[in-house]
């Protein structure tokens, strides 16, 4: 990247997260001083938001671009921190989803356009994709409907409670197609909005295709009055793209609920917790690699795939590196999805939940380092005081635990790694020059508990959404980090 630019969320569409800049060194880092502070904004009025600042800014053409949790977009002078422009995106607080904006996307039109030759694209907290002039922050009126595309079209949101779906990660732009997914709320109901991923023309905002995991062979918008298939796996993290191959790579999650798979369909299971490669021109599925079979642990693939040339006998192969919440790192041929390092199917504990179709085996990437951490013991339990530690040890002894992939059951169980991983949406970084993969991983277990419907009613669990109106609900659960 020229002059220290950081033009994509992961520095490039390959997601390597590596900067070649060398001015800051171990010898002078202690002398760094704060140069400026910018206050991105205050929490907004919507009741659904987590109000989190999770943005990774872009640095392009001499400006620093970012967004706040309510999709206000800003451009700053990177030297002084002075605000060059700010677009306070109007949002509908009544339907606003999770207040998170991980970043924006920068796009330079390949040919002459009437407006916004360089533009910022971002998904909003109330389910829209907007385009702004990169130099002024004004809406690109030729994009969609006066600068905005309605992402709720075809999602059948009138049948769902508000705030269950919205994009939280920036679109990935490959061959002029802006590909965007969405966060869908976890574990609040069996029937939730669809996990559809769509590709839009980055200049006009026109829908080019849709990938509906429930109907993967249909690539257009639903017919009037129809909707995409609900409760399918979604993809909420950042995608990666390969311009030469014309592929976009999706790290997929689960259809809700995460811990109860009795109502899932074969289509849902096919794409759940898998890397899916789509043709960016058509939305057609090129290949699928599943990292967790019939995921019952909230092990969404959260990390942006990293693309690189992987050394093999006789040369290199175009590769994809996918880090997972299970602590496994899979290395795949990004043309075909075939593993380039050894992957073994190993037996895992069986589920005793009635009707559950748990997989008897799971893939383990034995050809790469494992970041899952050791099997927990009572001696690992921790407390801020001896009494806390004693209580934690008692809870550990009371809970069911069979190591990794322990399935939930009625009563307490322990899940390790927990839902934070392993490796979460921070992904990994790759120094290609030195062939170094830099991994930041978590070692934190979760203490879960399935409870009966009767106990949930007694505790008024999920009273806001009342999932009983949607048909038979799954057993509710409780979860806490250990």
* pLDDT value for 162: 83
- C-alpha 179/C-alpha 200 separation (Å) is 6
Contact indicator for 78, 21 with CB cutoff of 8 Å:
no
CA nearest 207: which of 152, 274, 288? Answer: 152
Alpha-carbon separation of residue 303 from 105, 185, 338 (angstroms)? 18, 18, 19
Number of other CB atoms surrounding residue 191 within 10 Å: 18
Residues of the chain with pLDDT under 50: 48, 464-473, 481-482
The answer to whether the bond into 422 is cis (omega within 30° of 0) is yes
Q: Cα 467 to chain center, whole Å?
A: 25
Contact indicator for 425, 306 with CB cutoff of 8 Å:
no
- C-alpha 362/C-alpha 368 separation (Å) is 16
* pLDDT value for 43: 58
- C-alpha 233/C-alpha 104 separation (Å) is 23
Backbone angles phi, psi at 2, to 5 degrees: -70, 135
* pLDDT value for 477: 52
- C-alpha 342/C-alpha 82 separation (Å) is 50
- C-alpha 348/C-alpha 330 separation (Å) is 19
Q: Pick the catalytic residue from 186, 258, 298, 446.
A: 298
- C-alpha 353/C-alpha 410 separation (Å) is 8
Contact indicator for 187, 223 with CB cutoff of 8 Å:
no
pTM beyond 0.85, yes or no: yes
- C-alpha 431/C-alpha 395 separation (Å) is 42
Q: Where are the beta strands (DSSP E) in 422-468?
A: 428-431, 436-439, 446-450
CA nearest 469: which of 161, 98, 256? Answer: 161
* pLDDT value for 301: 97
Alpha-carbon separation of residue 409 from 351, 394, 451 (angstroms)? 7, 19, 9
* pLDDT value for 461: 72
Report which DSSP code applies to 451. -
Burial environment of residue 397 by CB neighbours within 10 A (0 to 12, 13 to 18, 19 or more): exposed
Q: Where are the beta strands (DSSP E) in 254-335?
A: 274-279, 285-290, 306-312, 315-323, 329-333
Across 64-81, b (16+ Cβ under 10 Å) vs e yields bbbbbbbbbbbbbeeeee
Phi-psi bin for 418: left (phi > 0), alpha (psi -120 to 50), beta?
beta
Contact indicator for 48, 35 with CB cutoff of 8 Å:
no
- C-alpha 406/C-alpha 362 separation (Å) is 12
Backbone angles phi, psi at 321, to 5 degrees: -110, 120
* pLDDT value for 471: 45
**Is 298 an annotated catalytic residue?**
yes
Q: Which two tokens stand for residue 317?
A: 């192969």
Find the DSSP H helices in 167-227: none
- C-alpha 468/C-alpha 218 separation (Å) is 31
SS3 category, 124:
coil
* pLDDT value for 41: 79
* pLDDT value for 51: 65
């Amino acid at each position: 990247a020229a002059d220290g630019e950081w033009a994509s969320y992961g520095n490039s569409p390959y997601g390597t997260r590596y900067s070649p800049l060398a001015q800051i060194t171990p010898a002078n880092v202690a002398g760094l001083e704060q140069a400026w502070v910018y206050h991105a904004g205050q929490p907004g009025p919507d009741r659904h938001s987590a109000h989190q600042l999770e943005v990774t800014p872009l640095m392009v053409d001499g400006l620093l671009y970012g967004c706040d949790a309510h999709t206000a977009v800003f451009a700053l002078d990177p030297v002084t921190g002075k605000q060059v422009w700010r677009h306070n995106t109007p949002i509908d607080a009544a339907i606003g989803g999770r207040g998170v904006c991980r970043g924006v996307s920068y796009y330079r039109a390949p040919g002459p356009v009437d407006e916004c030759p360089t533009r910022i694209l971002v998904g909003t907290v109330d389910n829209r994709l907007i385009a702004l002039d990169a130099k002024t922050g004004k809406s690109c009126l030729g994009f969609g409907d006066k600068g905005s595309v309605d992402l709720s079209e075809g999602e059948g949101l009138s049948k769902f409670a508000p705030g269950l779906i919205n994009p939280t990660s920036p679109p990935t732009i490959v061959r002029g197609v802006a590909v965007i997914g969405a966060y869908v709320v976890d574990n609040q109901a069996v029937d939730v909005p669809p996990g559809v991923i769509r590709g839009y023309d980055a200049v006009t905002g026109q829908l080019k295709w849709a990938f509906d995991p429930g109907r993967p062979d249909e690539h257009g918008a639903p017919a009037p009055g129809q909707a995409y298939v609900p409760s399918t796996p979604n993809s909420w993290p950042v995608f990666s793209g390969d311009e030469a191959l014309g592929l976009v790579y999706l790290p997929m999650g689960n259809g809700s609920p995460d811990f109860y798979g009795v109502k899932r369909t074969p289509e849902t299971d096919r794409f759940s917790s898998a890397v899916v490669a789509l043709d960016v021109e058509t939305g057609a599925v090129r290949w699928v690699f599943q990292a967790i079979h019939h995921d019952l642990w909230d092990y969404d693939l959260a990390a942006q795939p990293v693309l690189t040339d992987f050394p093999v006998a006789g040369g290199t192969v175009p590769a994809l590196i996918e880090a997972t919440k299970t602590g496994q790192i899979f290395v795949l041929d990004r043309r075909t999805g075939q593993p380039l390092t050894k992957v073994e199917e190993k037996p895992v504990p069986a589920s005793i939940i009635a009707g559950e179709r748990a997989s008897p085996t799971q893939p383990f990437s034995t050809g790469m380092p494992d970041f899952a951490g050791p099997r927990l013991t009572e001696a690992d339990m921790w407390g801020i005081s001896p009494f806390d530690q004693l209580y934690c040890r008692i809870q550990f002894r009371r809970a069911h635990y069979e190591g990794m992939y322990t399935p939930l059951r009625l009563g307490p169980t322990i899940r390790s790694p927990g839902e934070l991983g392993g490796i979460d949406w921070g992904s990994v970084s790759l120094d290609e020059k030195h062939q170094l993969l830099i991994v930041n991983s978590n070692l934190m277990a979760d203490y879960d508990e399935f409870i009966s419907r009767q106990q949930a009613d007694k505790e008024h669990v999920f009273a806001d959404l009342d999932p009983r109106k949607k048909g038979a609900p799954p057993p509710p659960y409780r979860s806490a980090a250990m």
